[in-house]
Structure 1
Amino acid sequence: MSTEHKITTQKVNFKVFRFNADEDYLPYYENYDMEVTSEEVVLDILNRIKWDHDGSFSYRRSCRHGICGACAIKVNGRSTLACKESMNDMVELFGNELVIEPLSKKRVIKDMIIDKADFWEKHDAVTPYLVAEIDENPQSENLVSPEDADKLDEADLCIQCGACHYACPAVEVNEDFFGPAAFAAAYRFSADVRDNSTSRLADVNEEKQGVWDCVKCFECAEACPKEINPIGKITKLHQMAFQEGIAKNNVAVRHAVGFKKSIMKNGVLDEGGLVLYSEGPAIVKHLPVAFRMFTKGKIVPPWGITKSENLDEIQKLVKSSSTAKF
């Protein structure tokens, strides 16, 4: 029986983002019609555009093994590592019209190459290394148990490609926000039993720059090519803040506390009560919206909330799963 792999081809139109910050006033798109084989990945297409169509086309690439993160771009708006994604999969997902763009259009230097200075500055701001007193001439290894290693939750597998960072809407609108990749790095070292930092966790809990400004959209989890799930690390940094007693009394923290209290009390979420608990007197600014929601049946007054029939079970579940005091 023959095990020979049959190579197939199909025609694909690539609409490719082009821009040279030194020469162009506005970006534009070039179209390239190409026959794509079943063996090719997106990086092969970038190479062919440069080698066969336009030598000025620019992009980053290095290891070709999905571990350096240099070739991260977007295909039809989806963040991807060019060296990792099969063209067959891209066509199956999006069809035969593919748009190739950089991770961030507003940071483009040339074509697929972007200025990642903000990414590295925010990565550096979270102290992305172990802080510990060490013996310069150790006589034995500093061993970490498998159980303690598991606490890192694969955060150490991040390749700093920037895909999650530039997919984050909070990063786009808040220049102070550290971003999901930086938070993943902060968690990786804060969760390490060898680390003795006293400032990192406080830094990522400051307003505007810290984890409480995350909008929980899960875009970072969708964008990550290594499936590290940065949003999960952000949630764990929230828990660490409560465990260490450094969570501040602000709207975001009160929202987390109020959410748990509401579920414990009713077994269901009291949305109006949650806003009141979170905002306090500032809730008056939400009254026009609250009134419209009330008339549409989207929120109910406290006396109108029907408690869950399984309230006892829900309360036991919340108590058993809580790892920190609020």
Structure 2
Amino acid sequence: MSTHSITTQKVNFRVFRFNAGDDYLPYYENYTMEVTSEEVVLDILNRIKWDFDGSFSYRRSCRHGICGACAIKVNGRSTLACKESMTTMIDWFGTDLTLEPLSIKRAVKDLIIDKGDFWKKHDAIHPYLISHIDEHPEMECAVTPEQADELNDADLCIQCGACHYACPVVEVNEDFFGPAAFAKAYRFEADVRDDAHITRLEELHEEKQGLWDCVKCFECAEVCPKEVNPIDKITKLHQMLFKEGVATSNVATRHAVGFKHSIAKHGVLDEGGLVLYSEGPAIIKHIPVALKMFRKGKIVMPWAIPKSDNLDEIQQLIKSSSTVKF
């Protein structure tokens, strides 16, 4: 017999409300209720609809963390409502919780959003296997366990959109593919059966929409309910761009290479030298900021950059891990 005891806490929920057909501006309504330690966020959404306001709208389907339909934000954090325990939410944020859609500017009805931009970018990276195969093969196309492992769990993505709408670049750059699309792209780039390897990489290399506009904030890894870790896939795609010879010389690629050169030379990062290497003569536009950084000790003169005590070891690590010249 289970000895687990059910506990309750009084929680106030500040809930985003909006109907694009009737409301000019969104507003928030407060609902206070006793929450048990057995409930998840989706249970709260159901109770608000069933016990307080039948017009309250949100998406839900499988309740098993598979379909991704119920993704919302709790206190600004993207989360899968059917997966997150209320006990965890209270531990993190306290007993005053704000429930909002993944993207307020895309809200259609309460917590329901228009995910058109998400699916457009998802489709843009050709999220399917492209292979020239015999229509009547004599044997199956076998993939070894080692080759399957190269997918690195990218195939676990459920397209919930949690990472996409948590990404700060998506919020300000409507052309940026976003972390979910990149994770899906990696899933097929890593598949040995795919024949569109270079074509897909060339599209991912494009400025403004592609990989180089990622700001490495790791928010996508933080919120992913399936632990796909999109930033890890983005890093691997960066490496593929260099390995396959797709990367061309631009500010972003020079920044990556300059980072490596700086660490190899000093064992620490020369931030001023990195900007100069990346942008060349265009560095003049950064002079006002550079002066402020210099006064704060953020950057130093080239001859004053300290050398790491472990420089030899660092250089050996860089040499052993560098497989591509650029």
Q: Which consecutive unaligned segments of at least 5 residues does structure 2 have?
A: none
Deviations 1:25-65 (CA, angstroms, capped at 9, x unpaired)? 11001111111112111111111111111110000001100
Cα distance, 1:4 vs structure 2: 4.1
Cross-structure match for 1:210: 210
Cα distance, 1:6 vs structure 2: 2.4
**Which structure 2 residues correspond to residues 46-61 of structure 1 after superposition, within 5 A?**
46-61=45-60
Cross-structure match for 1:190: 189
Cross-structure match for 1:254: 254
Cross-structure match for 1:303: 303
Deviations 1:153-208 (CA, angstroms, capped at 9, x unpaired)? 11110000001100111111111100000000111101100001041110000000
Cross-structure match for 1:97: 96
Separation in 2, partners of 1:265, 1:5: 58
Cα distance, 1:309 vs structure 2: 2.0
In structure 2, what residue type is equivalent to 1:82? A
Cross-structure match for 1:141: 140
**Which structure 2 residues correspond to residues 256-271 of structure 1 after superposition, within 5 A?**
256-271=256-271
* Secondary structure of 1:204 counterpart: helix
1:127–1:200 CA contact under 8 A, matched in 2: yes
Cα distance, 1:138 vs structure 2: 2.7
Deviations 1:257-296 (CA, angstroms, capped at 9, x unpaired)? 0000111111111111100000100000011111121122
1:170–1:213 CA contact under 8 A, matched in 2: yes
Cross-structure match for 2:179: 180
1:78–1:223 CA contact under 8 A, matched in 2: yes
Cross-structure match for 1:38: 37
**Which structure 2 residues correspond to residues 271-286 of structure 1 after superposition, within 5 A?**
271-286=271-286
1:183–1:234 CA contact under 8 A, matched in 2: yes
In structure 1, what residue type is equivalent to 2:211? V
Separation in 1, partners of 2:272, 2:70: 46
* Secondary structure of 2:273 counterpart: helix
Query: Is 2:309 the counterpart of 1:319?
Result: no
1:239–1:323 CA contact under 8 A, matched in 2: no
Cross-structure match for 2:75: 76
Deviations 1:130-167 (CA, angstroms, capped at 9, x unpaired)? 11012223332211111111111111100000011001
Separation in 2, partners of 1:70, 1:244: 36
Cross-structure match for 2:115: 116
Cross-structure match for 1:17: 16
Separation in 2, partners of 1:139, 1:65: 39
Separation in 1, partners of 2:323, 2:55: 55
Cα distance, 1:87 vs structure 2: 1.0
Cross-structure match for 2:128: 129
Separation in 2, partners of 1:40, 1:323: 50
Separation in 2, partners of 1:47, 1:324: 53
- Greater Cα offset, 2-11 or 36-45: 2-11
**TM-score (norm. length: structure 2):** 0.97
Cα distance, 1:300 vs structure 2: 0.8
Q: CA RMSD in A?
A: 1.1
* Secondary structure of 2:98 counterpart: strand
**TM-score (norm. length: structure 1):** 0.97
Cross-structure match for 1:107: 106
Separation in 1, partners of 2:296, 2:5: 59
